[in-house]
Structure 1
Amino acid sequence: MTVHVPEQPVGTLSDAWHFCVGTGEFPLALRRDYQESLAVIQREIGFRHIRGHGLLGDAVGVHRPYEWAGRRDVRHVFTYVDQIVDAYLELGIAPFVELGFMPSTLASGSQTVFWWQGNVTPPTSYAEWADLVRATIRHLIDRYGLDQVRTWPIEVWNEPNLKDFWLDADEAAYHQLYEVTATTIKEIDAGLQVGGPAISPGSDEWMVRFADFCAAKDVPVDFVSRHAYSSGPSQHVPFGVYQALAPAATLLDQFGKPREQLRGTPFEGLPVHITEFNSSYRPDNPIHDTAFHAAYLAPVIARGGEHADSYSYWTFSDMFEEAGVPATLFHGGFGLLTHRQIKKPTFHVYAFMQRLGSAILCQDDSCLVTRDESGRIAVLAWAPVDVNGTVEGVAGHHVRLSIPMTSTQPVDSAFLLRSSVSETMGNVRTAWGELGRPASPTARQLDILRETAEPVRRHARLPVVDGRVELDLWLDANEVTLAEISPVTDETPQWWDDGRLLGDPS
C-alpha cells in the first residue's frame, strides 16, 4: 500500500533526541581518544549536553581536606574540572551536571560501585557536603558565567533506588541529600535548574514519593529525571553477558511514565529528562554493537520526543570502564563509537536524525517523513525487528510513499540520495568477525573497519509527476535507511552528449 504523504506538516520534530548524551566516568575526558571521539560525535551529530558519573569522585580531586595549625579545613580544587569543561565547550557541548559520587574524604562508609570505585554512601557532614556543592557551582559560574550555567541542568546523584548506587537504597537519606543540595543551589541563584531523583527502572513509586516529599517540604524541583532500559537478567559468559530484550516500545512507555505519575501534582508539567537509556543496562552486552540494535532503537530515537523533554543515549563512546578495561575492540560497550572512533550501526541512526528536517509530514511504525526550509525531503525508515526471533532479522520490509515535491519553480525531476546500514551494509561488527575478531587491531585493520563502518550510499534521479515523487524503499534485514530527496534544476548545456564520451560513433 502506498502512503500518500500530505503537503502540509502535521507537526514539528522535537529536538529532544539530541539534548543530551551519556559518557563514561568524568575524568576519562582528559584522554586523547575520548576527546577525538567526542569531536566525531559533535561534528556528525551535535549533542547539546553531556552527562556522566564521578564529577565529585576521588579521581577528579575536588574535595581536599588538610590540617594546618592544628585545625582541619577543606580546599576545593578544580584543576581537572576546568580542563574537562573547557574541552566540552570547545566542542560545542555543555555539561548536564550530575552531583556524585561521594568523595572518600567525606563519605560515611566504604561501599563503592564499579571498577573505579565510586563511593555511594551519604556524607559524614551534610554541612560539608553543602560547602562542596556550593563551591563547585560557584566555581562554574565564576568561570563560565551565570547565564550559561543557568542552562546546565544539575541532577542530584544517580539511581539512589538501587543498593549498588546508594547505601541500602535508603530513600529517606536520599531525600535529605536532595533537600540539602537543592536548597544550597537555589541559595546561589534561583535561576539554576536542579532536579532528580535519577531513578533506574523497577522502582517507579520512588518518583511519586519524591514528589510528595518535595511538595510537603517545599523543596525546589525544576525537572524530574529517570532512566530507561529494556533488557532482562544477565546471562554471564567470560567478559560479557547475553540478555533477552523487551519490545522497544517499552522504552517509550518508560519515557512517558514520569508525566503520568506527576499528573495532578504540584509538579505536573515539569520537564522530564531521561538521563540514561539503552537496550541493555550492561556495558559488555554485544547487542549494542549490532545492526539489530540500530533497527531496534530507531523508532525510539525517532519518536521519544513525544514522551519526554530529553532522552540521553548511554553512551557516546566505548571509553567506559565501569566493568574494567575492555578486553577487545567490540566488547558490547554502550558507545555509539568504539575506541579509536569506529562507528557502530546505532551511531548512524543519530547521524541520520541530524539530517532530518524540522517539519513532520508523516510518521508511522516504520518511517518518519520530514521537510526542511529548502524543500528537501528526508525519510528515515527502518525494518521492524522481532525480539523473539533472530538477531539477523528477516529481509523484505517495504515502505512505499507518494511524496509532495515543493519548489519555487516547476520541477520535473528530483535527486535521491539514500544512505543505509543493515546486516550487510555498514555493519562493522560483521567485518570485524571476518577479520578474525582481533582484540588489538593493527593500523591497517583499523582503517578497514572504519571504511566498512560507513553507510552504503546510493543515488538516483526520480521523475516528478503532478508535483509528486513515488518512492519505493525495500529494506534489508535490520536496515535503517535515510532517503533524501531534493528538487533538481537542470543546468545541462545543449551540447552535452554522454553518447559521445568515446568519440562520435558515426
Structure 2
Amino acid sequence: MNTVIVPSRPIAALRDAWRHCVGTGEFVLGLRRDYLESLALVQSQIGFRHIRGHGIFHDWMGILRQYDAAGHVGTRYSWTYLDQIVDAYLEVGIKPFLELGFMPQALASGDQTVFWWQGNVTPPREYAQWNALVAATLRHLIDRYGRAEVLTWPVEVWNEPSLKEFWQDASQEEYFRLYDETSRTVKDVDADLQVGGPATSPEADDWYVPFAEHVAASGAPVDFFSFHAYTTGPAQHVPFGVYQTLRHPSTLLEQFARPRRLLAGTALEHLPMHVTEFNTSYRPDNPVHDTAYNAAYLAPTLVGGGDLVDSFSYWTFSDMFEEQGVPVSIFHGGFGLLTHRQIKKPTFHLYAFAARLGSDVLARGEDHLVTRDDTGRVSVLAWQPVGGTDDPAEPDRHHLRLSVPVRTADGGTPVTAYAHRSRVNDDDGNAFTAWQQMGRPASPTSRQLDMLYEAAEPAVTHRALEVDPATGRADLDLHLARHEVTLVEIDPVSDETPAWLDDLRILGRP
C-alpha cells in the first residue's frame, strides 16, 4: 500500500459550509421538551449556526387570528408560540433560517394539504393579506430581537414549489407571483433583509433559468439561490417504511454544482448558493439514515461540498419529525442525527468529528481529510469509501497509511505524539446495530435505553507515536472496519515525567 505524504504547509483553509444550517421538522415542534433537549445536545457537540423547518405559518402556530365579534371584524397576530421557539433557539446558540410557509387556512385559496399535519399548499386567496402576515411577522421579530440580529436570518420563500405535493399544480407562474409579492414585502420591512428562493426539489433543472429570467424581468429582489439535493430512487413501500436505491455519493456534489453551472450568464450566477435540504434519502422512514453506511456515504460531501456552495443543510437534526405521522419505533429510518430520546446515530458522529477539525487543510483524498489547528494538533478524518446500490459490497476492511508532520505550536519537533482515535462503523459506536441485536424493541425499556446510549458512543483507542527527529514526521496506519468513519487527533507531546518514576516498578517487581 502507498503511503500518503501529508504536506507540512496548508494547501487550503477548511470551509465549514456544512455548519451554516441544519434542518428540522415542523416549526411547532420547538415547544416540546425532547426536541429542545435534542437541539441542545446537537449544539453542544456540533454547533450549527442556523436552523430551517416548515410551517411557520401553519395554523398550529396560531399566528394569524381573524375575528368577527359584535360587528368588529379584523385580524390579530399572536406571537405566543413563535416567541417561545425563537427564544429557545437563541438560548442554545442557533438562529432561524426563515422559510415562509405554509398557507394559513384563513388565507388559502384551496384545500390541498401535504403531510400528516396538513400543511396547506395553495396560493393565498388575497395577496394583500399574505403580504400583511409576512410584514407583521418580520416587524415583530425585529422589534423583539433587534434589527442587527434579524438581519442575520435568511428569509426563504416557500418550500419545493417544483413539486405538486408542495405547491398547487407546481405552477411556476403562480410561484413567481408569490415570490415577487413576498420578496418585495420583505424588502419593504427592511431593505437589508436577505431574501431568496426558489427552494426547489432535487434536480429541478426546468426551474433554475426560468426563475432567473423571471426575477430579471420583474425586478423582484433576490439575495441568494436555494435548492435541495437527495440521491435515492423511488420508494419501495413496506408497512411504516420504505427501501430505495442509492446513486453514487458523488451525485450529491454534482447536484450541488448544477444550479451555478446552469445559471451561468444570468443575473443570479454570482449569488450565494444554499442547499437548504440534503441527505441520502428524501423519505423520513428509510432505515439507511440509521446506519454507519449513511455516515460513510456522506463524508465526501461534508469534505467537498463547501467548494461548490455557500451552505448545505442536513435534513434533519432530530427524528422528531411527523410528515408521515408519529413514528412507531425508536429506530424507524428517520432523517435525524438523533433519534427520539437523543440516541446518537453514526451520522451524528460524522458531524461531531468534523466539528473537531482544525482550520488548515493539509491533505485531502477520496478517503481522508487532514487538518491542523494553531496548537499544532493534526486531525485526520478518514472513512471507508462506499459507492451506492450498484457498486459491489464493501470489503470488511479498508487500509490507509499516512506520514503526518508533527510540530509544536512554536514550530518545534517533539519526540513523541499522542494519537487519540474515535471510531464508528457497523459495530462500534452504533446503537442501530445494538437495537437490531436486542430484537428491535419499538419502545425500549429504561435499561435498554441505557444500553443503547452506551452503544451509541464512539469506540476510543489511543497510543503514542514516535516522531522521526530528522523529518518531524510520524507514521499512522489506519485499518478501518466496514462502513467506518474515524477521527484521529494527533497532539505533540511535551513530556513532564519526573526522572525518578519507573512504570515497570508499579507492581513492585525489580
With normalisation by structure 2, the TM-score equals: 0.98
Q: Report the counterpart of residue 445 of structure 1 in structure 2.
A: 448
Structure 2 residue 142 is the aligned partner of structure 1 residue 141: yes
Structure 2 counterpart of 1:463, one-letter code:
E
Q: Report the counterpart of residue 237 of structure 1 in structure 2.
A: 238
Conserved 8 A contact 2:423-2:458: yes
Conserved 8 A contact 2:247-2:390: no
Q: Report the counterpart of residue 347 of structure 1 in structure 2.
A: 348
Q: Aligned runs of 1:57-456 on 2, under 5 Å?
A: 57-388=58-389, 393-407=394-408, 408=410, 409-456=412-459
Q: Report the counterpart of residue 50 of structure 1 in structure 2.
A: 51
Find 2:481's aligned residue among 467, 476, 483.
Answer: 476
Find 1:502's aligned residue among 499, 504, 507.
Answer: 507
Cα offset, 1:303, TM superposition: 1.3
Cα offset, 1:398, TM superposition: 1.4
Cα offset, 1:393, TM superposition: 3.2
Conserved 8 A contact 2:248-2:389: no
Structure 2 counterpart of 1:42, one-letter code:
Q
Secondary structure of residue in 2 paired with 1:475: strand
Cα offset, 1:390, TM superposition: 8.3
Gap change, CA 1:197 and 1:31, over 3 Å in 2: same
Cα offset, 1:70, TM superposition: 2.8
Cα offset, 1:301, TM superposition: 1.3
Gap change, CA 1:391 and 1:311, over 3 Å in 2: farther
Secondary structure of residue in 2 paired with 1:348: helix
Secondary structure of residue in 1 paired with 2:324: coil
Instruction: Give the Cα–Cα distance (whole angstroms) in 2 for the partners of residues 258 and 147 of structure 1.
Output: 30
Instruction: Give the Cα–Cα distance (whole angstroms) in 1 for the partners of residues 456 and 361 of structure 2.
Output: 29
Cα offset, 1:386, TM superposition: 3.1
Conserved 8 A contact 2:203-2:229: no
User: 1:194-214, CA deviations, whole angstroms, 9 ceiling, x for partnerless residues?
Assistant: 000000014212011111100
Cα offset, 1:410, TM superposition: 3.1
Unaligned runs of 5+ in 2: none
Cα offset, 1:299, TM superposition: 0.8
Structure 1 counterpart of 2:213, one-letter code:
D
Instruction: Give the Cα–Cα distance (whole angstroms) in 2 for the partners of residues 401 and 316 of structure 1.
Output: 33
With normalisation by structure 1, the TM-score equals: 0.98
Cα offset, 1:5, TM superposition: 0.9
Deviates more, 1:294-303 or 1:349-358: 294-303
Instruction: Give the Cα–Cα distance (whole angstroms) in 2 for the partners of residues 240 and 388 of structure 1.
Output: 18
Number of residue pairs aligned between Structure 1 and Structure 2: 505
Deviates more, 1:117-126 or 1:301-310: 301-310
User: 1:221-268, CA deviations, whole angstroms, 9 ceiling, x for partnerless residues?
Assistant: 000100000000000000000000001110111111221122211122
Structure 2 counterpart of 1:460, one-letter code:
R
Gap change, CA 1:107 and 1:305, over 3 Å in 2: same
Gap change, CA 1:237 and 1:404, over 3 Å in 2: same
Instruction: Give the Cα–Cα distance (whole angstroms) in 2 for the partners of residues 410 and 321 of structure 1.
Output: 54
Structure 1 counterpart of 2:128, one-letter code:
A
Conserved 8 A contact 1:413-1:463: yes
Unaligned runs of 5+ in 1: none
Q: Report the counterpart of residue 493 of structure 1 in structure 2.
A: 498
Conserved 8 A contact 1:292-1:392: no
Cα offset, 1:396, TM superposition: 2.2
Deviates more, 1:203-212 or 1:306-315: 203-212
Structure 2 residue 460 is the aligned partner of structure 1 residue 457: yes
Instruction: Give the Cα–Cα distance (whole angstroms) in 2 for the partners of residues 219 and 261 of structure 1.
Output: 20
Instruction: Give the Cα–Cα distance (whole angstroms) in 2 for the partners of residues 202 and 222 of structure 1.
Output: 21
Gap change, CA 1:97 and 1:89, over 3 Å in 2: same
Structure 1 counterpart of 2:88, one-letter code:
A
Instruction: Give the Cα–Cα distance (whole angstroms) in 1 for the partners of residues 352 and 314 of structure 2.
Output: 13
% identical equivalent positions: 61
Conserved 8 A contact 1:392-1:423: no
Instruction: Give the Cα–Cα distance (whole angstroms) in 2 for the partners of residues 124 and 391 of structure 1.
Output: 53
Instruction: Give the Cα–Cα distance (whole angstroms) in 2 for the partners of residues 501 and 11 of structure 1.
Output: 47
Instruction: Give the Cα–Cα distance (whole angstroms) in 1 for the partners of residues 85 and 61 of structure 2.
Output: 10
Instruction: Give the Cα–Cα distance (whole angstroms) in 1 for the partners of residues 93 and 483 of structure 2.
Output: 32
Instruction: Give the Cα–Cα distance (whole angstroms) in 1 for the partners of residues 332 and 155 of structure 2.
Output: 32
User: 1:336-384, CA deviations, whole angstroms, 9 ceiling, x for partnerless residues?
Assistant: 0000000000000000000000100110111000001111000100001
Instruction: Give the Cα–Cα distance (whole angstroms) in 2 for the partners of residues 300 and 450 of structure 1.
Output: 27
Deviates more, 1:113-122 or 1:60-69: 60-69
Gap change, CA 1:351 and 1:391, over 3 Å in 2: farther
User: 1:22-75, CA deviations, whole angstroms, 9 ceiling, x for partnerless residues?
Assistant: 000000110000000001000000000000001001000111111245353111
Cα offset, 1:330, TM superposition: 0.5
Instruction: Give the Cα–Cα distance (whole angstroms) in 1 for the partners of residues 491 and 42 of structure 2.
Output: 26
Secondary structure of residue in 1 paired with 2:282: coil
Deviates more, 1:426-435 or 1:91-100: 426-435
Conserved 8 A contact 2:315-2:336: yes
Conserved 8 A contact 2:426-2:483: yes
Structure 1 counterpart of 2:413, one-letter code:
P
Instruction: Give the Cα–Cα distance (whole angstroms) in 1 for the partners of residues 495 and 153 of structure 2.
Output: 48
Instruction: Give the Cα–Cα distance (whole angstroms) in 2 for the partners of residues 391 and 346 of structure 1.
Output: 22
Deviates more, 1:340-349 or 1:299-308: 299-308
Instruction: Give the Cα–Cα distance (whole angstroms) in 2 for the partners of residues 398 and 144 of structure 1.
Output: 51
